[in-house]
Amino acid sequence: MTFAVEVRNLVKSYNGITAVNGVNFKVKEGEIFGFLGPNGAGKTTTVRILTGIIKPDSGEIRVLGYDIEKEPIKAKEHLGVVPETSNTYVDLSARQNILLMAGLYGVSKKDAGERADELLRKFNLYKRRDDKVKGFSKGMKQRLILAMALIHDPQLLFLDEPTSGLDVQSSYLIREMLLKLLDEGKTIFLTTHNLEEANKLCGRVAIISHGKIAAIDTPDNLKKMIKKLNLVELTFEKPVPLEELYKLDEIHNVEIKGDKFYLNTDDVNNLMLALTEYVSLKNNKIISFNTLEPTLEEVFLDVTKEVSSDD
């Protein structure tokens, strides 16, 4: 298997504070790799090191086969970067901003013009192409920043919080574009706070907390990881006293929210049989029965809590 990014024992400190502490991971070619973590966990520092913006204290990083410390320019030629705090040149037009990037990535003038127009169309900015960016909304600016990152048709994209604080339309457009890029075989390294976004887009997700990787796997496997007990949501036709449910051996815990009961069990099948017997005895009925999976948010909170308590 070929890896677009390989990180071994990455360490970076600022003024005695360790921002990234022995991070290891690999990003496969042609996947969207999500990089999640709370504020100050070391996400942006990691992205800045991987994109050659800052140097690590120690560790080995290979990006598209290049050692980012020894051959930063060769590696950067093939990267598209949307930094977290990135901005456009507001005194230039949208097209001028894209062409500036084209020049800095060595794209020929002819190709740059054609590709700039194509990207402006894709990101719904073509009508405003000659307007100064000063008057653009945040969503338009962010779409432009992504277009700037794509001008040289990079193999690998680093996106640091690309949809943070954007309107629904812009977020949707960017997410759709990322999926199209994935279909074209690009690799995408996505840093996000939006767990739903990571769940929908990412093939694999790494969760970083306190400068360490707390978990790394597919979103589904991560959810299974904390699925120590199954959660069942059900409603009854008639009211059920809580103490009666606790008498059933299969139930570990019960919570009531509105008319819904949330039961924790380690055997859904036996719980179902026990409940069927119980309702027929009590002349009651089960109206709905759903088994619930933990959300990525719960996984996130669980693993970041574990790392935090380890410290």
87 vs 269 by CB, closer to other proteins: 87
54 vs 229 by CB, closer to other proteins: 54
Sign of the C-alpha dihedral, residues 15, 17, 23, 28?
negative
Closest separation in Å from C-beta 62 to other proteins = 17
- Taking alpha carbons only, the member of 94, 201, 86 closest to residue 151 is 94
Q: How far apart are CA 181 and CA 179, in angstroms?
A: 5
Instruction: Give me the DSSP letters along 78-118.
Output: TEEEE-TT----TTSBHHHHHHHHHHHTT--HHHHHHHHHH
148 vs 274 by CB, closer to other proteins: 148
125 vs 145 by CB, closer to other proteins: 145
CA distances from 27 to 30, 157, 242 (A): 9, 12, 48
Closest separation in Å from C-beta 310 to other proteins = 29
Give contact residues for other proteins (rule: CB under 8 A): 48, 51-55, 72-74, 76-77, 79, 81, 83, 85-92, 96, 100-101, 103-106, 145, 148
Closest separation in Å from C-beta 225 to other proteins = 34
Where helices occur in 202-259 by DSSP H, the ranges are: 219-225, 242-246
Closest separation in Å from C-beta 91 to other proteins = 5
Closest separation in Å from C-beta 52 to other proteins = 7
110 vs 257 by CB, closer to other proteins: 110
Which residue type is seen at 190? L
Closest separation in Å from C-beta 87 to other proteins = 4
81 vs 188 by CB, closer to other proteins: 81
116 vs 232 by CB, closer to other proteins: 116
Closest separation in Å from C-beta 39 to other proteins = 17
Closest separation in Å from C-beta 299 to other proteins = 31
Judged by phi (left if over 0) then psi (alpha if -120 to 50, else beta), residue 210 lies in left
Where helices occur in the chain by DSSP H, the ranges are: 43-50, 72-77, 94-104, 109-122, 138-150, 168-183, 195-201, 219-225, 242-246, 268-281, 296-310
Q: How far apart are CA 244 and CA 222, in angstroms?
A: 34
68 vs 198 by CB, closer to other proteins: 68
Half-sphere exposure of 223 (CA within 13 A, CB side): 16
Q: How far apart are CA 51 and CA 144, in angstroms?
A: 20
- Taking alpha carbons only, the member of 137, 112, 134, 106 closest to residue 124 is 137
